[in-house]
Structure 1
């Protein structure tokens, strides 16, 4: 088995254990919330005229496990449903499966998070290289200060500022939703343009909120690489400035690829504030609504999905670094 395959197998095994641990903790927390909402739902159905057996089955459909019996039996029922991808039904959307509601919300989170993060990453690393090379000049100072300022502003403050600017002071962008209702959903210019228009503020917020971190990280990495012996040797051999620049960028950017993968996973949880401010119906807004409406089946599914996203991001980050940096592979093979 190759080094990469062995590392991947180990990460997948640890990831599965982490998913089971987080799911178990979420189950116990939900079952011990003051007031026992599951028992309250069961009793309410009985008051509405259902027999105990009917109320038990109806509650099991909603929460994914049988509301009667000891905690261990309920846990086994819940995990059995989880392995069948049956997380119960959503209380906020009667008759809709939690998995369907999660899929619908996640697709609206993925695009802004992905576009905003990648945009900030590309611009941030380019500006970070210039900030490091020109660090003794005015351009370097301006870039470093811009990165520090944006890095220090919380995401929700930045979202509020952008919302106030572009929806109130200069009302050129919509303040909520995913598209105008006047356009028929489908592959047509009007609908696609409306999607882009409504996603502009969340994407801009993600990009600006992440830009400061990327430029500062890249600047620090480039400054470290500038002191390496191979850069001095390249300059002494009379290599062109552009070639030396590529050497610097390629070696400095390696650590940032792992941070990029981790950022994509963490932003699924961090999208809560941005989506709430812009009323953008993604995973973060859905999680807030599920907590407000005590939709515990949907809440547990959202926590599970965010956990899986973070674990997958960690695996991708580690595997990506192993693939793009041959020194990691050679070091592991030498240690065998």
Structure 2
């Protein structure tokens, strides 16, 4: 099998996964008890503070049914939904009163600004520390308790600790630099008017949530790499290399190259934690991402925004995992030589 054939096979597989995912999302929303989509649309169409008669309510309900397409057969409803998803029409948010696709562009961009750098930085630092812990026993005794504490600490709890000890107690030693809340104003001010002052204001609010994510994620990556490195260093090929005189540094470098592959796979999967981390950040730092939007959507039954968030993160996870497949071919000679036949 050639590399092109392999990538085409993966593309077909991910298309099937995406189709199944959006179908499950449609089934969960369409057949949910109480018909939340119809309820949300009725709330959006009903004037606030205005008393309406039963006849007017029935008329609004009929209009909502027609706008949602619920008066058509289920098979037509389903394929209409699929067509709209493929064309980027995710409906209208009944809470924000704006197209879901437009709102998601802003929310997802805010998430990526914070969460993507945090995941990448924690991945590099965590793998490096995990490899060191596996190689040096003295360092291992110091790092392992720290790694396990970080791994077991929830994002929101670590965020609260950071706010109290760094943002409040120790902030006086930093001249009041840190801000415990990261708002959309800080982000927009820096992006629309980049300057030294807006950058400093942005970093004041950005530092604490960024460090909270990096430190907690570092514990997970370090724990995984430590386990993988210990396994590789005790494998037969490592013992054979040691017996014929290879240096510890050379053996460790080979072990690291083998141990890093599962961690690269984990990097693609880690994107799925974006929404969880966003929820944690929302409750602690009031971060203006999909987390806070999802809370609003759940509280106000904005079913179209919930659906849009689920779809967009499905697309992102699939896209990142496809990039990981390509990266595997580039960095793993075993896979590359397998395609080339030797």
Normalised by the size of structure 2, how large is the TM-score? 0.82
TM-superposed CA distance for 1:21, in Å, is 2.0
Describe the shift of the 1:34–1:211 C-alpha distance in structure 2 as closer, same or farther (beyond 3 A). Answer: same
TM-superposed CA distance for 1:321, in Å, is 2.4
1:30 paired to 2:32: no
Describe the shift of the 1:239–1:290 C-alpha distance in structure 2 as closer, same or farther (beyond 3 A). Answer: same
Identify the residue that residue 4 of structure 2 maps to in structure 1.
5
Gaps of 5+ in 1: none
Identify the residue that residue 321 of structure 1 maps to in structure 2.
328
- Residues 268 and 309 in structure 1, CA contact (< 8 A), matched pair in contact too: no
Identify the residue that residue 175 of structure 1 maps to in structure 2.
180
- Residues 135 and 252 in structure 2, CA contact (< 8 A), matched pair in contact too: no
Identify the residue that residue 255 of structure 1 maps to in structure 2.
262
Please give the alpha-carbon distance, in whole angstroms, between the structure 2 residues aligned to 1:143 and 1:92: 46
Gaps of 5+ in 2: 47-51
Report how many residues are paired.
Answer: 327
1:162 paired to 2:162: yes
- Residues 150 and 212 in structure 1, CA contact (< 8 A), matched pair in contact too: yes
Identify the residue that residue 110 of structure 1 maps to in structure 2.
112
Normalised by the size of structure 1, how large is the TM-score? 0.84
Identify the residue that residue 49 of structure 2 maps to in structure 1.
none
Q: Which moved more, 1:165-174 or 1:43-52?
A: 43-52
TM-superposed CA distance for 1:186, in Å, is 2.0
TM-superposed CA distance for 1:57, in Å, is 7.2
Describe the shift of the 1:36–1:268 C-alpha distance in structure 2 as closer, same or farther (beyond 3 A). Answer: closer
Describe the shift of the 1:242–1:272 C-alpha distance in structure 2 as closer, same or farther (beyond 3 A). Answer: same
User: What's the C-alpha RMSD, in Å, of the aligned pairs?
Assistant: 3.2
Please give the alpha-carbon distance, in whole angstroms, between the structure 2 residues aligned to 1:16 and 1:182: 35
SS of the residue 1:313 aligns to: helix
Query: Counterparts in 2 of 1:24-103, with a 5 A limit?
Result: 24-40=23-39, 41-42=41-42, 45=45, 47=52, 56=63, 60=67, 65-94=68-97, 96-103=98-105
- Residues 119 and 214 in structure 2, CA contact (< 8 A), matched pair in contact too: yes
Please give the alpha-carbon distance, in whole angstroms, between the structure 1 residues aligned to 2:69 and 2:4: 40
Describe the shift of the 1:170–1:110 C-alpha distance in structure 2 as closer, same or farther (beyond 3 A). Answer: same
Please give the alpha-carbon distance, in whole angstroms, between the structure 2 residues aligned to 1:193 and 1:43: 42
